[in-house]
Structure 1
């Protein structure tokens, strides 16, 4: 690792959040190498990796980086691996798996500071693990059940209702119109629970009796909390009806956030909370690569600078 070496940014081409970080790093005169690991399947990313010898290189159409010289890595939002359309389904599946396992193993060998390391990110993206660690960290979490048994779901709804449904993983879905289809957090009634639950796993929680939501973004040793007011249960339904207010993070919440991140070995986390009527912060989830730049635009919080500091100062 070189403390004056380049900063490696791993993300997709269409990522405005990484755009502003790269711009800030460029303004500081810091060398940056940005690429999408999935481009190894498109011909726009070349790889030469030696095991047990120096000189593992990544090549884009215009630049080359020696992974041994990288000072830090911003692992933001790489694309999914997609095989070239010229391949058969069988060959494409083989190519995707080879690329995914090869690229992950190669870039994971970088010894600089990661925000966040892909192995730590992978562990922390599973909702059941998140909930278990959040509970151990001292957060208040809503009663939760993960099940494919309709009788157990109905019993949970009767005991803890009103309840909501949340997906266990944000999967890329396309609606009938061809556009990306979002799954919002929504109310669930006992009558909605039928035998179709047996087809997969579902996560249900008691609905939080909230007055607002809070997004708390931890970037290294800095922490930023923003209250989010919306008329909707899930404020993401309509950003035009959302208002933002910068608020202080209670000391106990900050301690729990850091305890949670330390458990996973993370330096960045975007935490979501519900703010109850008695001002209790109820934990929803933590996204290891969550969006934050729109909050900086809305509030003026110096989040881009905080992220750039974390990538620049590795000592």
Structure 2
């Protein structure tokens, strides 16, 4: 194995997307440790950090290895389980343990000096806020659909009445939702002014001018390496019936590529999954960017290229 430092992968044990990159790192003989801190740290793994004026030290012990955390070259924050605390404790004690783990272990793992983070967990969290995404996208040169986020029903209805092409509703966060006890996804959908009721006052709602799109595009960015995918779907939200969509690799125009790189830089990200809509006139509109979006669902050639780009980044570590 390489002696230039380990790669630490933070994810749950069922993350098959991470497995794709882990296999490539193994082929390159890069030392790797895999940890699901929300679960592993109360099933046998241990994490220790020591701080003093002269420096800091740290050790991670798992069932298979011991790692000097001061020599971690890269941290890939994939899909770790939430910090929930050990089972079998009272609700109050479990909540206490979960919060101590989040602020303790989570803080240690987010503060590994000299490591390259893909992406840093704090930057991931900040970049998940839809208002921050829209504001950043506008500053970085993207076309952004007219959007209002409000809990004022009158403001929402007024906004809708001024959009000649129609309005869509989007949740500002993917909150787990159930109908009759069954998981239920809240898809992007078109709404009419008469559907906007006073219930909007319960919480902020996001309404956006409907883009007259010819097709959708997913751009997966790993630093300056961009992987464009055209998505043709009969649905407004292509995620709704993915079996009906077709995907084709495509080039990203220069102006859009520059906006993407600027966006990543402003939010301190290395990885981002950008969703865009392209009009019949060839205008590319920013819809959102998931800083930790899935990518292994794409055609095999695109998936392989993204996996190699991520592996390159993790193997290289921080820019010196």
TM bin, normalised by shorter chain, reads over 0.9
Report the counterpart of residue 9 of structure 1 in structure 2: 9
Partner of 1:4, secondary structure, is coil
Q: Which 5+ residue runs of structure 2 have no aligned equivalent?
A: none
Partner of 1:106, secondary structure, is helix
Q: Which sits farther off after the overlay, 91-100 or 79-88? A: 79-88
Conserved? CA contact 1:269–1:288, under 8 Å: yes
Partner of 2:18, secondary structure, is helix
| 1:167 equivalent in alignment to 2:171 | yes
How far apart are the structure 1 equivalents of 2:270 and 2:7?
16
The alpha-carbon distance between structure 1 residues 210 and 15, as it changes in their structure 2 partners (threshold 3 A), is same
Q: Which sits farther off after the overlay, 46-55 or 249-258? A: 46-55
Give the counterpart of 1:81 among 80, 83, 87: 83
How far apart are the structure 2 equivalents of 1:24 and 1:88?
42
Q: Which sits farther off after the overlay, 47-56 or 138-147? A: 47-56
| 1:105 equivalent in alignment to 2:107 | yes
Q: For 1:120-135, what aligned pairs fall within 5 Å after superposition?
A: 120-135=123-138
The alpha-carbon distance between structure 1 residues 113 and 79, as it changes in their structure 2 partners (threshold 3 A), is same
* Deviation of 1:300 (Å): 6.0
- Listed one character per residue, the Cα deviations across residues 29-71 of structure 1 (whole Å, up to 9, x for unaligned) are 1111011121256424322221225431222222221210101
How far apart are the structure 1 equivalents of 2:124 and 2:302?
27
Report the counterpart of residue 231 of structure 1 in structure 2: 234
How far apart are the structure 1 equivalents of 2:46 and 2:178?
31
Partner of 1:183, secondary structure, is coil
Give the counterpart of 1:243 among 243, 246, 265: 246
Give the counterpart of 2:95 among 77, 93, 113: 93
Q: Which 5+ residue runs of structure 1 have no aligned equivalent?
A: none
How far apart are the structure 2 equivalents of 1:44 and 1:239?
40
Moved >3 Å (runs of 4+): 298-301
- Cα RMSD for the two superposed structures: 1.8
How far apart are the structure 1 equivalents of 2:195 and 2:42?
44
Give the counterpart of 2:68 among 37, 45, 66: 66
TM-score, structure 2 as length reference = 0.93
Conserved? CA contact 1:120–1:266, under 8 Å: yes
Report the counterpart of residue 274 of structure 2 in structure 1: 271
- Listed one character per residue, the Cα deviations across residues 203-236 of structure 1 (whole Å, up to 9, x for unaligned) are 1101111111000111123111000011000011
The alpha-carbon distance between structure 1 residues 259 and 277, as it changes in their structure 2 partners (threshold 3 A), is same
Conserved? CA contact 2:7–2:32, under 8 Å: yes
- Listed one character per residue, the Cα deviations across residues 164-193 of structure 1 (whole Å, up to 9, x for unaligned) are 111111123344344x32111011122221
How far apart are the structure 2 equivalents of 1:148 and 1:193?
11
Conserved? CA contact 1:244–1:299, under 8 Å: no
* Deviation of 1:307 (Å): 0.7
TM-score, structure 1 as length reference = 0.94
